[in-house]
Amino acid sequence: MQSSKVNSSTDLNQTTEKIQKVTSEAGNNVPPVNKMGLAARLAHHSLNLQNAQKNQELEAQIIKDSRKIHEFEIAGLAFKIRSSQDEKTVQDLVAIVDHKVTECLAASKSGSLQSAAVLTALNLAEELMILKKKAIDEISQLELQTLKLMERIEQSKLPPLKN
C-alpha cells in the first residue's frame, strides 16, 4: 500500500512545472484563454490528487480499525498486538510461541529471555522451512502423477470414426 500512496504536493509541483514549461516555450503565441484552460486543468488535477490521497487515508483507517487488540503473555511478559485474526487463532499462536520460549528457557544455560526468544525464532523458522520443503516435494509428486495420467489418457484415446 505504501508504494501506491499519492504524493499530491510532488505531483502538483511536477504538473505545475510542465504547464509553466509549455506556456513559456509557447511564449506570447499562447492565447490567454488557453493559459486559463491550463490553469483550470492544473486546479482540477490538484483536486483529483487530494481526493485520491484522502481515499487512501480512509482505506488505511478502515483496515486499521478492523484489527482487534489482543492482550497475552509469553514467558510471563505481557504483550498487546493489533491483529485481524480471530481470538482463537491468536490464542493458538501465543500457546505455540509460549511453549517454545519456555522450552528454550529451560534448555538455556544463561536463562536469558532474549536468547530464548532468538532460539525460539530459529526453531520455528526451521519447522517452517521443513514444512515448506515437504509441501514442495508433495506438489512435485502430484504434478508428476498428473502428467503421467494425462499421457495415459492421451494414449488411450480412440481413433476418430470413419464414415
Q: Measure Cα distances from 121 to 110, 111, 114 in Å.
A: 17, 16, 11
pLDDT at 11: 58
Of 85, 44, 52, nearest in space to 66 by CA: 85
Give the domain ranges of the chain.
8-61, 68-154
pLDDT at 36: 53
162 by Cβ neighbours in 10 Å (0-12 / 13-18 / 19+) ranks as exposed
Residue ranges for the chain with pLDDT beneath 70 = 1-42, 45, 61-65, 163
pLDDT at 2: 39
What count of other Cβ atoms lies within 10 Å of the Cβ of residue 104?
21
pLDDT at 135: 97
State how far the Cα of 105 lies from the Cα of 118, in Å rounded to an integer: 11
Whether this prediction's pTM lies above 0.85 is answered by: no
pLDDT at 91: 96
Under DSSP, is residue 4 helix (H, G, I), strand (E, B) or coil? coil
pLDDT at 53: 81
pLDDT at 64: 62
Q: pLDDT per residue over 46-74, tens digit each?
A: 777 777 788 787 777 666 667 889 999 99
Alpha helical stretches, state H, the chain: 8-26, 32-65, 87-107, 113-155
